Amino acid sequence: MLRFILTRVSLIIPTFIGITLLAFFLIRLVPGDPIETLAGERGIDPARHEQLRKEYGFDQPILVQYGIYLSRVLQGDLGKSMITQEPVLSEFSALFPATIELALCAIIFALLLGLPAGIIAAIKRNSIFDHGVMGISLAGYSMPIFWWGLILILLFSVQFDLTPVSGRIDVLYYIEPITGFLLIDTLLSDEPEAFWSAVKHLILPTIVLGTVPLAVIARMTRSAMLEVLGEDYIRTAKAKGLSRFRIVALHALRNALIPVVTVIGLQIGVLFTGAILTETIFSWPGVGKWLIDAIFRRDYPVLQGGALLLGVVVMGVNLLVDLAYGLINPRIRHTR
Amino acid sequence: MTTETMEAPAVAVPTATPPHPLREFWGYFSANHGAVAGLVIIVAVVLVALLAPVIAPHDPNLTNTAIALKPPFWQEGGSIAYPLGTDPIGRDILSRLIYGAQLSLLIGIAVVALSIAIGTVLGLVAGFFRGLTEIFIMRLMDIILTLPSLLLAIVIVAVLGPGLMNAMLAVALVILPHYVRLARAAVITETSKDYVTAARVSGAGTTRLMFREVLPNCTAPLIVQASLGISTAILDAAALGFLGLGAQPPSPEWGTMLADAREFVLRAWWVVTFPGLAILITVLAFNLLGDGLRDALDPKLKR
């Protein structure tokens, strides 16, 4: 097991170097003076310009420059925002809980609906339910979620006036951030209505962000279940006279879930992509909206640092999924 | 694999001679109703795009503030002259959707063509030369795959500058790894086969082996991936357009139309509903087609 963990962990090093190389070179493609871009300041006087040139190592060979950049990144120095002059890392960590909260709710929503739908579709193969689930999930998979969000706003906020249009919580409430997760923070505060306000604000973004993962999970669960239900040991279980429920819940599901776990892991990247669009539609104060705002403000340090951080987070989650996969499936662990 | 896990395709009546490959392909393909529906929609969208100047009732860029935000014809205040209503500056939505079909198809096809061309060559090179070349190419592709696709596209466009061309380049780069991986995997399975050895023995050079012998035998997975790739390309380009990073107004690209109309969502449902519906239907059609092609072309699912 230790050997397995070490191999997997060592595999992410080249990926990490690759992502930093990408971030390092992309910022140099930005039109304009790279020093001003990197320093996050405009109209620097010549003396300071020269000093910054030295500091960033622009008088050094490009490899040394990269080395300087990499060591800064490893120390958590990702530059500072051109607009707010705040360090990129602290802005990111202040906004990231909002994105995680949204992403977690979306994946839970997708699992709660997707797993049962996939399992029932597989058991009742070729039934109307099966065709319905497959049709809906294909539509969900093809959904332009930025449009889906607008349509849900049109239906639930405009027509029925059930949910708020944007934001994370009603402006009436000020909640001291303790964990950064509003659902928890509002519960810790002494205003019960604040919690419901936060929940109401979460509903539409959760559905929008959860749609694509829901479609993928339902499809994947169905096909994994179908595969497993055709195995010999299921026939044996049937021959032993076990109840249908027992066969599905205890024998089939456990093996069918293995590929599903991988798919859920792969959905993390999709979730962050979707979060960028979802947060833009609902003015959700997370890192996705922050990145898009940075583009329009030409705040390149934020773009560079934020993209790098998101890339690293996705990489870390993929690694965890990989390790979890080895944990639940010994066959993976022992083949190198 | 057991019979239970497979779809039951319509089996052709056994004849003395085996059916023509195309006929056999059609037999499998047409058994999948979804795929046929997808194909019909795609043909329709292609026709609409080609005939846009003929069938569009109005100039897509003609503004007329006197008729701004007219609802569709079946609603009160709508008129049959503007069947799907007009946008905030009085342009006919139907005409813009029709011209938008040209853009979306162009985006899908150009992006995938570029990606396949580069991806296949990289994959073939990686599969043939192995060693360091392969490691370099494949690690690079892994990095691209690690990053969330739209995030990477957004960063690239942000650096290169917003616009349809840069958005297309960014999306092409983002979907590149799929083709590289497919081509490489196909090359590695194919090169161990006898016909490649035979060609090699009879003196065929590497280039000939790559493009004349091996490539034709790995087209099936590439075609399937191409169809799915077109849907991704249309969707991602529309998302970039929606974020203001893709095609710029007044271009009638569907995602850009949505971005333009966003602030009017509370007043005029039609300005946001129809462009998104157009994206959804087109993307769905290419996904259906891709699924059908996979079932019909993938020998592993065939008996």
Comparing CB atoms, the residue among A138, A154, A270 nearest residue B148 is A270
pLDDT tens readout for residues B201-239: 888 888 888 888 888 888 888 888 898 899 999 999 999
Chain A residues whose CB is inside 8 A of the B159 CB are: 26-27, 29-30
B279 touches chain A (CB under 8 A): yes
**Interface with A, mutate which of B6, B41, B142, B151 (most A CBs under 10 A):** B151
Does residue A211 carry a pLDDT above 70? Answer: yes
pLDDT tens readout for residues B87-117: 888 899 999 999 999 999 999 999 999 999 9
- pLDDT of B302: 44
The pTM (predicted TM-score) of the whole model is: 0.87
Higher-scoring residue by pLDDT: A46, A106: A106
Chain A residues whose CB is inside 8 A of the B280 CB are: 139, 142-144, 147
Does residue B279 carry a pLDDT above 50? Answer: yes
CB contact under 8 A, B148 and A269: yes
Band of the pLDDT at A49, cuts 50, 70, 90? confident
* Helix, strand, or coil (residue A177): coil
CB contact under 8 A, A296 and B244: yes
Does residue A112 carry a pLDDT above 60? Answer: yes
What are the backbone angles phi and psi of residue A263, rounded to the nearest 5°? -60, -40
pLDDT tens readout for residues A79-100: 888 788 889 999 999 999 999 9
Contacts of B170 (CB under 8 A, 6+ apart): B152, B153, B154, B156, B157, B160, B240
- pLDDT of B281: 96
- pLDDT of A159: 79
B48-74 mean pLDDT: 88
Does residue B180 carry a pLDDT above 70? Answer: yes
Token pair recorded at residue A296: 């329009």
Contacts of B99 (CB under 8 A, 6+ apart): B52, B56, B60, B252
Nearest CA to CA, how far is B214 from chain A (Å)?
Answer: 29
**Interface with B, mutate which of A295, A296, A297, A308 (most B CBs under 10 A):** A295
In this structure, the dihedral spanned by the alpha carbons of residues B253, B255, B260 and B262, taken in order and rounded to 10 degrees, is: 160
In this structure, the dihedral spanned by the alpha carbons of residues B266, B268, B274 and B279, taken in order and rounded to 10 degrees, is: -30
Does residue B267 carry a pLDDT above 90? Answer: no
pLDDT tens readout for residues A133-145: 999 999 999 999 9
A26 touches chain B (CB under 8 A): yes
A208 touches chain B (CB under 8 A): no
Q: Where are the domains positioned within chain B?
A: 30-60+69-301
pLDDT tens readout for residues A158-206: 778 788 877 888 777 777 777 778 788 877 777 778 888 888 889 999 9
| CB half-sphere exposure, B231, CA atoms < 13 A | 24
> Taking CA A85 as the corner, what is the angle to CA A84 and CA A91, rounded to the nearest 5 degrees?
70
Locate the chain A residue with the closest alpha carbon to B287. A142
B69-84 mean pLDDT: 85
For residue A127, give the nearest of A117, A140, A112, A142 by alpha carbon.
A117
- pLDDT of A30: 77
Chain A residues whose CB is inside 8 A of the B154 CB are: 276, 291-292, 295
Nearest CA to CA, how far is B18 from chain A (Å)?
Answer: 31
**Mean pLDDT (chain B, rounded):** 86
Does residue B188 carry a pLDDT above 60? Answer: yes
Locate the chain B residue with the closest alpha carbon to A16. B143
Q: Which numeric CATH code is attached to B30-60+69-301?
A: 1.10.3720.10
Please state, for a pLDDT cut of 70, what percent of chain B lies above it: 93
- pLDDT of B20: 81
Q: Are B138 and B119 in contact (CB under 8 A)?
A: no
Residue B93, class by beta-carbon neighbours within 10 Å (0-12 exposed, 13-18 middle, 19+ buried)?
Answer: buried
Does residue B2 carry a pLDDT above 60? Answer: no
Contacts of A152 (CB under 8 A, 6+ apart): A204, A207, A208
A148 touches chain B (CB under 8 A): yes
Domains and CATH numbers, chain A: 93-333 (1.10.3720.10)
B286-297 mean pLDDT: 87
What are the distances in angstroms from CA B44 to CA A32, A292, A318, B50?
46, 35, 41, 10
Token pair recorded at residue B254: 């569907």
Higher-scoring residue by pLDDT: A328, B42: B42
Residue for token digits 């799915």? B228
A310 touches chain B (CB under 8 A): yes
Chain A residues whose CB is inside 8 A of the B275 CB are: 147
- pLDDT of A243: 84
Number of helices and strands in chain A (H, E)? 15, 0
**Interface with A, mutate which of B150, B257, B258, B291 (most A CBs under 10 A):** B150
